[in-house]
Structure 1
């Protein structure tokens, strides 16, 4: 797809992962994943996919591990190898959208290196561009600022903040809300959106520094 095309025509997929944390380094595991296509600037819940992931080991309950991601729940979930073919089909050649997407992409690329998206769009970077003086730029704070909390909950029934489906849906809705604050938003091209919110693709993303280890939620 040409970068000069409208951003609403781009093959965008909102993505969120929940994991054990970068503190686990090489043993860091994906515990939950959700993706939701963005069509014409809107999330498409009918095309959403979410699942828990069995990490193949017991996990410690840490403060950043989302409620519900218990050892008993994860034990009944599929292994990552079972769902990787579907993820490859749904994510390769797509542009991944997320809040602090570098954290999700680093873990996804490490665990599923065959998945090859065509780009990354970071709603956190876009929020910083639009609101440089705003102190609180977490996903939940921005969703509240744009009065989208109820809409996210409607589109992700049974989910909650800091779970993969809720956060992926929130990122999809937040992207459009932020884009609408950009000049000439109705005619915004993909190339322009990438300029203000895109992140470079890295062949071998490295774990973040200690100050960046936890996802910004």
Structure 2
């Protein structure tokens, strides 16, 4: 099975938006986006996204995600209410994200019922391919590969919202793999070799990023 093409792997692009690193271990999840990848491409028809009620008012900051106001969040479901939906979509899959460990470290302690098989990091892959000074943020890389308009069209959203960023990570994965010398023949095992990161990192203290 692991010698099959990477496009056959159960990949799900994922992103979440949080209240900010200034909250340290009390950082709240404010929005989630989940997009399955079919043949290596985002399947937006079967995507899922939801705002999340943090149970408290969130102070707006310059880097806050656009549109995630307290009025919007106050009408959203709590995280424990959507955890079963997330678990059903993520359990047993390989979660794809940009700097995915940041999201995983925030999600895992709060939703212990979510148990993916592995994590795939597009930032790790970008660092492998772009060894010199090149864009590293998700938005910069998507612009570099001229994918940002496609992400907006597919997601119907905007950067720094969970669905937009999840779709972006899914499209970026394919673009980066095409840069590899043998990307056209990359296997599931090869994907995990070049872009996989450890689930065990979530057991560490939440990062003060």
- TM-score range with shorter-chain normalisation? over 0.9
- Supply the distance in 1 between the matched residues of 2:38 and 2:205 (Cα, whole angstroms): 31
- Supply the distance in 2 between the matched residues of 1:7 and 1:40 (Cα, whole angstroms): 8
Number of equivalent positions: 208
The residue number in structure 1 matching 2:190 is 192
Q: How does 1:197-212 map to 2 (within 5 A)?
A: 197-202=195-200, 204-208=203-207, 210=208
Alpha-carbon contact 1:22-1:207 (below 8 Å) kept: no
Tell me the C-alpha RMSD between the 2 structures.
1.1
Q: Which runs of 5+ in 1 are unaligned?
A: none
TM-score, with length taken from structure 2: 0.96
Going from structure 1 to structure 2, the CA distance change for 1:90 and 1:145 (only over 3 Å counts) comes to same
SS at match of 1:167: helix
The residue number in structure 2 matching 1:45 is 44
TM-score, with length taken from structure 1: 0.93
Q: Segments of 4+ in structure 1 off by > 6 A?
A: none
1:141-180 CA distance string (max 9 Å, x none): 11011011111111011x1001101100000000000001
Q: Which runs of 5+ in 2 are unaligned?
A: none
- Supply the distance in 2 between the matched residues of 1:124 and 1:68 (Cα, whole angstroms): 26
- Supply the distance in 1 between the matched residues of 2:31 and 2:105 (Cα, whole angstroms): 15
The residue number in structure 1 matching 2:142 is 143
The residue number in structure 1 matching 2:165 is 167
Following TM superposition, by how much is the alpha carbon of 1:21 offset from its aligned partner in structure 2, in angstroms? 1.9
Q: 2:102 matched to 1:103? A: yes
Alpha-carbon contact 2:25-2:206 (below 8 Å) kept: no
Alpha-carbon contact 2:135-2:144 (below 8 Å) kept: no
